[in-house]
């Protein structure tokens, strides 16, 4: 294979680029985006991505509902979000253009597949006339019209493919052009094509021709006088790979299973955006992973509990609607005090809601959505790569406490990606699990005896002398026999709650970005980390007294959090819900919190958070009293 060509045009070095690729859902935009991401990561840039799918698999072609987008930011500095405003936008048709143009910054580059702009497409996109012809567009943006379909057909003509198949190569043409514009190497994508289409050499060859033609077009057309270069980012030393959130969860689970010397059982029922975890873990059968695609979510979680009873590392995952179905069984898991992991990759709700869009609105569902007093530990990853660590940590806590542990991810993290520093496996701490050994002793076995973490022994079927019966009926402490004794129920309820709350003693104190007291503290959780962190950084750069605490442990909360909150005049809690963490914080600490809330199926833009935080800084300064004075009761 020939090496990537080098450009003879001028190259301008910039610190970062945000580009969005948008087209019809059949145009291969996700593939293009993933390739650009990988290639940029391999070039040493820090990357962050935001894929945006239509809800329908094949929404009517050419319509606004069918637009599929993929946003990538790659930079020579550390970044935490895929960016608010686009430097470049590639659109394959009018629908993609009108739905995305609003995000392109003034002076940004708009690359349009001219061939996708015709009367038929205007009708489908519900536009009166060609949006590319609007004079204001040319004034505000650098518009580059490329007849991609025609050029692609020409480029692949020699391969003798049908026109339909030839036209499908146009995303590789677009890719080639984008690669030229941003000085990306063709190498990784050439390898990808060979891998993916190896069995269909004519298609592989055509895609390669299209890719190279796109690159050559950039090099020869007069529309571009220069291309851009983003230098490698200054990341911590090590070996990296690009990582998506769901993939990192899957890898974290497999790692946890290896670190605890346990085979894994993964029981689930397909649901967006959690399904990709199943697709990933099922590849790991040689790691001892057994996957069970159940008839529904209830079967999935129950089979998971069955596997846990048998002594296996047991995991189930779903999204909000499926978690709703799992609720009764999660209560049982808690009553049985068996270790397992329940993952909720949140999406927009309620009900079927916005399946392909992100939201953080299942927090209270996971906190309280079971009958009875049923507290469970909850962890939330903050970024795609963090999913790995959270999965390992969740399993460690599950076996330490002998109870189900919830992981709250979301669609934004699940499908987003970032560079991930590959850990040295030999240095990852082992997760030690001891099953009681049993024997022929006549002493009755106490399945609900407790250790220092209030965990009961994980005695597994097959062990002599430890025969016991578990069930959802209340247990007598120690013996585990069914008990209706009022005092015992109180005691067991208290014990289960204490077992969870005591985790706070064993997790790290909440860390803070910025000072530990001041005008404003921003508290966030989950996938809004990047936007919140960047917005706070920008506020601090603007000279404001703003700090940031990002929670990865949500139940229990870190034990210093209340004190931390009281050190600030104002506490701001941005969430992609209508104020769920805020409600918990106010209830627990009696400290007022200000919400920044939205549920639009989209992540926070850094700028909107910056404005929201900044608008409170001056009043926080004027604030006569600190939060703890206003809230003496706390």
Residue numbers 466-495 binding another protein by CB under 8 A = 466-473, 481-482
**251 binds another protein per the rule CB under 8 A:** yes
Query: Does position 127 bind another protein by CB under 8 A?
Result: no
Query: Within a 10 A sphere around the Cβ of 362, how many other Cβ atoms?
Result: 25
Measured from the CB atom, the residue of 422 and 578 that comes closer to another protein is 422
Comparing CA positions, the residue from 579, 544, 558, 549 lying closest to residue 507 is: 558
Q: Looking at beta carbons only, is 268 or 524 nearer to another protein?
A: 268
Check residue 309 for interaction with another protein (CB under 8 A).
yes
First to last CA, the chain: 68
Nearer to another protein (CB atom), residue 83 or residue 419: 419
What does the alpha-carbon distance between residue 564 and residue 561 come to, in Å, rounded to a whole number? 5
Question: Which of positions 411-470 make contact with another protein (CB under 8 A)?
Answer: 422-426, 438, 444, 461-470
Tell me, by CB under 8 A, how many residues bind another protein: 74
- In the complex with another protein, the residue whose CB is nearer, 488 or 517, is 488
List the one residue from 305, 341, 366, 606 that touches another protein (CB under 8 A).
305
Does 384 help bind another protein (rule: CB under 8 A)?
Answer: no
* 499: Cβ contacts below 8 Å, ≥ 6 apart: 401, 403, 453, 454, 455
Q: If binding is defined by CB under 8 A, does position 323 make contact with another protein?
A: no
Binders of another protein in range 261-300 (CB under 8 A): 263, 265, 267, 284-290, 292, 294-296, 298-300
Residue 200 engages another protein in binding (rule: CB under 8 A): no
* CB nearer another protein, residue 128 or residue 195: 195
Candidate list 59, 146, 190, 336; residue touching another protein; CB under 8 A:
336
At its nearest, how many Å lie between another protein and the CB of residue 240? 6
Asked whether position 188 contacts another protein by CB under 8 A, the answer is yes
C-alpha to C-alpha distance for 176 and 19, rounded to whole angstroms: 14
Q: Which of 253, 314, 532, 554 binds another protein (CB under 8 A)?
A: 314
Question: Which is nearer to another protein, 467 or 629 (by Cβ)?
Answer: 467
Q: Which residues contact 199 (CB under 8 A, 6 or more apart)?
A: none
272-306: string of b/e by CB count within 10 Å (b at 16+)?
A: bbbbbbbebbbebeeebbebbebeebbbbbbbbbe
CA atoms within 13 A on the CB side of 328: 9
405 makes contact with another protein (CB under 8 A): no
User: Of 128 and 424, which has the nearer Cβ to another protein?
Assistant: 424
Q: Does 255 bind another protein (CB under 8 A)?
A: yes
Q: Does 240 bind another protein (CB under 8 A)?
A: yes
Q: Which residue has the tokens 């994980």?
A: 458
| Shortest Å distance, C-beta 419 to another protein | 8
Find the shortest distance in angstroms from Cβ 538 to another protein: 26
**128 or 440, CB closer to another protein?**
440
Q: Is 237 in the site for another protein (CB under 8 A)?
A: yes
* Minimum separation from the CB atom of position 530 to another protein (A): 20
Cα separation of 481 and 20, whole Å? 60
C-beta of 147 vs 423, nearer to another protein:
423
Whole-angstrom distance, CA of residue 579 vs CA of residue 596: 8
Q: What H or E segment, with its residue span, contains residue 7?
A: none
DSSP line for 144-175 = EEE-HHHHHHHHHGGG---HHHHHHTHHHHHH
Stretch that binds another protein, among 76-84, 324-332, 359-367, 584-592 (CB under 8 A): 324-332
| Torsion angle (degrees, nearest 10) of CA 216, 220, 225, 229 | 20
Please give the Cα distance from 316 to 332 (Å, whole number).
Answer: 14
What is the maximal distance between C-alpha atoms in the chain? 91
Calculate Rg over the CA atoms of the chain: 27
The single-letter DSSP state of residue 582 is: H
**Cα gap 152→146, rounded to integer Å:** 11
Question: Measured from the CB atom, is 241 or 540 closer to another protein?
Answer: 241
Q: Supply the minimum distance, in Å, between the C-beta of residue 474 and another protein.
A: 12
* From 18, 25, 227, 304, residue interacting with another protein (rule: CB under 8 A): 304
Six-digit token pair at 89? 């936008």
């Amino acid at each position: 294979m020939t090496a990537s060509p080098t450009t003879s045009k001028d190259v301008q070095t910039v610190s970062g680029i945000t580009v969005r690729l948008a087209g019809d859902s059949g145009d291969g935009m996700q593939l293009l985006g993933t390739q650009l991401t990988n290639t940029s990561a391999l070039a040493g840039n820090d990357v962050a991505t935001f894929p945006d799918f239509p809800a329908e698999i094949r929404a009517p072609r050419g319509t606004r509902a069918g637009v599929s987008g993929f946003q990538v930011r790659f930079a020579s500095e550390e970044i935490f979000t895929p960016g608010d405003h686009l430097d470049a936008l590639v659109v394959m048709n009018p629908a993609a253009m009108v739905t995305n143009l609003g995000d392109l910054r003034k002076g940004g580059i708009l690359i349009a597949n001219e061939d996708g702009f015709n009367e038929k497409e205007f009708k489908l996109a519900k536009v009166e006339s060609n949006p590319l012809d609007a004079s204001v567009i040319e004034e505000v943006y650098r518009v580059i019209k490329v007849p991609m379909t025609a050029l692609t057909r020409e480029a692949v003509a020699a391969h003798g493919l049908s026109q339909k198949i030839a036209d499908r190569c146009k995303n590789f043409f677009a890719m080639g052009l984008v690669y030229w514009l941003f000085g990306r190497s063709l190498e990784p994508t050439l390898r990808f094509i060979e891998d993916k289409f190896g069995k269909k050499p004519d298609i592989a060859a055509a895609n390669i021709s299209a890719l190279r033609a796109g690159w050559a077009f950039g090099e020869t057309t007069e529309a571009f006088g220069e291309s851009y270069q983003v230098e490698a980012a200054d990341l911590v030393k090590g070996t990296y790979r690009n990582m998506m959130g769901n993939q990192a969860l899957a890898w974290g689970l497999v790692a946890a299973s290896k670190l605890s010397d346990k085979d894994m059982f993964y029981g689930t029922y397909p649901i967006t955006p959690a399904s990709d975890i199943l697709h990933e873990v099922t590849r790991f059968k040689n790691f001892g992973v057994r996957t069970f695609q159940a008839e529904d979510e209830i079967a999935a979680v129950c089979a998971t509990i069955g596997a846990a009873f048998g002594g296996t590392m047991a995991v189930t995952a779903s999204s909000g609607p499926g978690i709703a179905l799992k609720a009764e069984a999660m209560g049982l898991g808690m009553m049985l005090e068996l270790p397992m992991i329940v993952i909720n990759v949140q999406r927009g709700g309620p009900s079927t809601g916005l399946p392909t869009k992100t939201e953080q609105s299942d927090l209270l569902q996971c906190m309280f959505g079971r009958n009875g007093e049923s507290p469970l530990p909850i962890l939330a990853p903050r970024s795609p790569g963090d999913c790995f660590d959270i999965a390992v940590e969740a399993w460690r806590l599950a076996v330490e406490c002998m109870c189900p542990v919830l992981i709250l991810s979301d669609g934004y993290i699940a499908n987003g990606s970032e560079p991930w520093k590959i850990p040295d496996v030999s240095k990852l701490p082992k997760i030690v699990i001891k099953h009681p050994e049993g024997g022929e002793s006549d002493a009755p076995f106490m399945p609900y005896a407790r250790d220092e973490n209030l965990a009961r022994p994980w005695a597994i079927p097959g062990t002599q002398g430890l025969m016991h019966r578990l069930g959802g009926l209340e247990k007598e402490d120690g013996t585990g026999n069914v008990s209706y004794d009022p005092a015992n129920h109180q005691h067991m309820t208290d014990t289960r709650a204490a077992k969870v709350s005591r985790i706070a003693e064993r997790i790290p104190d909440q860390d803070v970005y910025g000072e530990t007291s001041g005008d404003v503290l921003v508290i966030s959780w989950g996938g809004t980390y990047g936007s919140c962190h960047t917005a706070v950084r920008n506020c601090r750069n603007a000279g404001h007294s703003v700090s940031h605490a990002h929670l990865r442990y949500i139940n229990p909360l870190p034990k210093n959090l209340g004190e931390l909150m009281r050190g600030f005049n104002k506490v701001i809690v941005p969430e992609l819900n209508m104020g769920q963490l805020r409600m918990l914080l106010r209830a627990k600490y009696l400290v007022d919190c200000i919400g920044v809330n939205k549920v639009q199926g989209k992540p926070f833009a850094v700028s909107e958070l910056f404005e929201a935080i900044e608008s409170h800084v001056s009043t926080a300064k004027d604030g006569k009293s600190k939060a703890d004075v206003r809230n003496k009761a706390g």
